[in-house]
Amino acid sequence: MKRTTILSAVLLTSLVFMSCEDDKDEFSGILEVTVIFDDAEKGSDDMIMAFLWKGSSFTSAKDAGTVDSYMFSFGTDTVITQTASIQFEDLSEGSYYCGIFESHDMMYDDHAEVMGYYCADSTNTTGSANPTAITLDSDNEHQTISLTITHHGDHQ
């Protein structure tokens, strides 16, 4: 009876150590994005999409293509005044770039108009000239960013 108990304890301890070791290797980052739409205008048939890219620079990230996207549910409203929060999950370590677009369909390649990219500049969180990288790593597994969209396009 003692041998069975000792053997069971050794096997159980081995499984616990192997399980803990596997958890260290896996990274699953989260990027939480809050978008404040402040009288943002869009076409009645257009969608508002958030796109996410990953790369060492914004240029390389865009060249690699989107890694995730999200469609906001605003229906046919042409003026949007509300706050929406979305979450991108299960992201690997790296630098990400986030942009909000008015689009005719759900693909980035056919975007209608840039509404804004995340920029860390405290006076303008939606600059389109120089998007800021959002880093996900072991020190920053869960990042939260905010963008304010005050888009007044020419929609008829």
Asked if the structure places residue 5 within a domain, the reply is no
Task: For 4-59, write each residue's pLDDT tens digit.
Answer: 555 455 445 554 444 454 555 689 999 999 999 999 988 888 889 999 999 999 99
pTM value is: 0.78
Q: Name the residue range of residue 140's domain.
A: 27-149
Amino acid at 46: D
What is the residue-wise DSSP string for 48-95?
Answer: EEEEEEESSSHHHHHHH-EEEEEE---TT-SEEEEEEEEEEEEEPSEE
Amino acid at 36: I
pLDDT category at 155 given cuts 50, 70, 90 is very low
Phi, psi of 145 (to 5 degrees): -125, 165
Task: For 109-149, write each residue's pLDDT tens digit.
Answer: 656 678 889 988 756 667 666 899 999 999 999 999 999 99
Asked if the structure places residue 12 within a domain, the reply is no
pLDDT the model gives residue 120? 85
Asked if the structure places residue 11 within a domain, the reply is no
Calpha distance 86→46 (Å, rounded): 19
Total of domains in the chain: 1
Report the range of poorest mean pLDDT among 44-48, 76-80, 81-85, 148-152.
148-152
Asked if the structure places residue 134 within a domain, the reply is yes
